[in-house]
Amino acid sequence: MNAQVQLYDTPLSILSIPREKYWLFSLGVLQLLHYVADKLGDADNAQDDSTDSESEGEDEEEGYQSDATSNSVPSINSHSRASTPAYTTDLSACNSKDSIPEPDHTEIEDPFLHVAFTPSECTIICSAALISKFFTQPLNTSVQEPACSFDTKLFQEAYLALQVVTDGLDNKRVLELTEPLSDSDISIFFLSTHFADIILIPEASKAKVVQILLSKGYDLVTSSPIPAGIKHEPVTVESDDLATKTFALFAKHGIKPLVSPRAKLLLTGARPGRQNAREVILLSAQALAAHNPSVPNSFVEYFAITKTTGSSISLLLPKSSKVRHKLGFGGKNKFIGSDVDSIIPISVDLTKLPIDSKGIVAGLAGRLLNSEAVENAVFGGDIGVFEMNYLSMGLSGVVMIPEEWLKVVSSVLV
């Protein structure tokens, strides 16, 4: 199997927030983004990064400008942002480095970061130490606020990140890995980035996951020794068809995957280099600081920024160049990837399902990938490559498909 799986040992926490309550957490999100940008700056100052020098030279030549400020992105050391409306004047607290606590021994030097928005939810994934640092107060306040469509939820279980890298394009790479995990009653989350697929697994299930990966022939790379007793034996799982079980569950609870053809998106990445990565994180902070979180529809429906290791930054952005420009992401010199190949989200509301439901996103993806309509279209080669991307939120699941496949996929979901 031409796939390598990297297992990271930093325990991650998952925080799910209703969009209606995001205003309580907006300051913490901005502080988190500035903190991660600071860590990139600290690493950059500690070593000579020749790639950054090249990237900075390119940026100066092309003179990137934001629509919101008409100025170049501020240096990370200045902590300045575009001016915000009166209702967010309290956000100025995170302009000062003094307002961001110094790291303690529980924090890591290369933090994982994921902040994502869908129409109903914001999900934040980072270390438990950073959740405690930036979100303890709003979490305490949130429980006192009026009820929303669903409650703010901080998952009690710690998760580990698996990064899946394959040789060439393989649509079923994630399903091949995740189906046996779901069949083994292991709860997982999917995150597609521009560079790789990320799967979050419960830390408590690490040994079981390692055994499954080894039995499936994956090249497993981990920063810690494989626990004693883990064998390369095939794992036997008693499983019905995951897609069949998933759609039976949908029918039982009156759930139908929601296709959003008007929400055309791009999955892109930041160009290499820590300086560029810092500035892209700050652009995200500017975009979030410039809107009123207490006003519905004041921010785009779908948005995500994901930092894995080093300076690898991935973004989920609107396809519309006009909307991207308004957000401050109009400069092509900072990003890689196509700006014309749009993807369409298909979402599933998980709040209606039993809390112990497993394999929902994998089941939905499996139904699409293995459907006769999709397989015939792939074999015919008339539409193009069928590549799926994933965005697991705390209480919803999203599968993203190429726009040109919308008609075929919609016929499968009827």
- Check whether domain 1-239+270-339 has CATH 3.20.20.70, yes or no: no
Query: Can you give the pLDDT of all 414 residues of the chain as single tens digits?
Result: 456 788 998 999 999 999 989 999 999 999 999 999 999 876 565 554 444 444 444 433 333 233 333 333 333 333 333 332 322 323 333 333 333 334 344 555 678 999 999 999 999 999 999 999 999 999 998 877 766 667 899 999 999 999 887 654 456 666 777 888 887 888 899 899 998 889 999 999 999 999 888 887 777 887 665 554 444 444 444 344 888 989 999 999 999 999 999 999 999 998 888 888 999 999 999 999 988 877 777 899 999 999 988 788 999 999 999 999 999 998 777 888 888 889 999 999 998 888 778 889 888 988 998 888 888 888 777 777 788 899 999 889 999 999 999 999 999 998
Total-model pTM:
0.81
Q: Do the bridges between strand 3-7 and strand 219-222 make them parallel or antiparallel, or are there none, so unpaired? A: parallel
Cross-strand bridge partners of residue 396: 349
**Residue type, position 16, single letter:** S
Question: Which structure tokens are listed for 156?
Answer: 């009690």
In whole angstroms, what is the distance from residue 366 CA to residue 369 CA?
5
Residue 93 CB coordination number (10 Å): 13
For residues 71, 73, 74 and 77, what is the CA-based torsion angle, rounded to 10 degrees? -170
Question: Which structure tokens are listed for 358?
Answer: 């497993």
Chain centre distance of CA 183: 24
